[in-house]
Amino acid sequence: MTTMAQVIQRIRNREADREDWLYITGDAAELAFDTEADLGYPEFDEDTDEEIDPPGFAERGLRSTIDMTTLDDCIEAADQLAGTKDDAAALDVIRYYIRFDAWPNMLNAPDPPPPEVTLLRLDREFVENLGAEDNARSCNKEGCDRGVVSLSVFCRRHHFESVRKRPYPFED
């Protein structure tokens, strides 16, 4: 069997084919040096356009993940983050890329937050940037007795809803 450690060596030694894809076994989150992995390229059925794995790969539980260009980019990114040619860093970045379809901005990066968490954080930033409400003028929204934020005729909540076209997500 071939392991992930050997695969990284083959890529570093330029023994891989430009057409190759990385095939791995198991859950990408568990990808380690001793995980069974291999390089190979799929054929495509001319009639159905279906991907046909290299011979024997399916029997070994191997499935395709990322192509050679992406692998090269992962290893280059890892070497830059590590400041040296470090296979542990390469493994780390490849694992992250397969899981999240993105490069980490540091080694051993935590999982990225789910999209809704990121959106809430951006909303909070937007709201904070509006500054305090000026109570000398009241919000133009009917029935609202709050002050207005800078450069707006609305309070924080109603300014948000007028600009973002969706409900204000906070309690304050």
User: Which residues are near Zn ion by CB under 5 A?
Assistant: 139, 141, 144, 146, 155, 158
At its nearest, how many Å lie between Zn ion and the CB of residue 139?
Answer: 3
Q: Which residue lies nearer to Zn ion by CB, 12 or 146? A: 146
Q: Which residue lies nearer to Zn ion by CB, 74 or 148? A: 148
At its nearest, how many Å lie between Zn ion and the CB of residue 103?
Answer: 42
Whole-number Å distance between alpha carbons of 8 and 14: 10
At its nearest, how many Å lie between Zn ion and the CB of residue 159?
Answer: 8
Cross-strand pairs, 21 = 40, 67
Q: Which residue lies nearer to Zn ion by CB, 10 or 141? A: 141
At its nearest, how many Å lie between Zn ion and the CB of residue 148?
Answer: 8
- Report whether 139 contacts 147 (CB < 8 A): yes
At its nearest, how many Å lie between Zn ion and the CB of residue 127?
Answer: 13
SS3 of the chain: the string is: CCEHHHHHHHHHCCCCCCCCEEEECCCHHHCCCCCEEEEECCEECCCCCCEECCCCCCCCCCEEEEEHHHHHHHHHHHHHHHCCCCHHHHHHHHHHHHHHCCCCCCCCCCCCCCHHHHHHHHHHHHHHHCCCCEEEEECCCCCCCCEECCCCCCCHHHHHHHHHCCCCCCCC
Q: Which residue lies nearer to Zn ion by CB, 80 or 135? A: 135
Q: Which residue lies nearer to Zn ion by CB, 95 or 158? A: 158
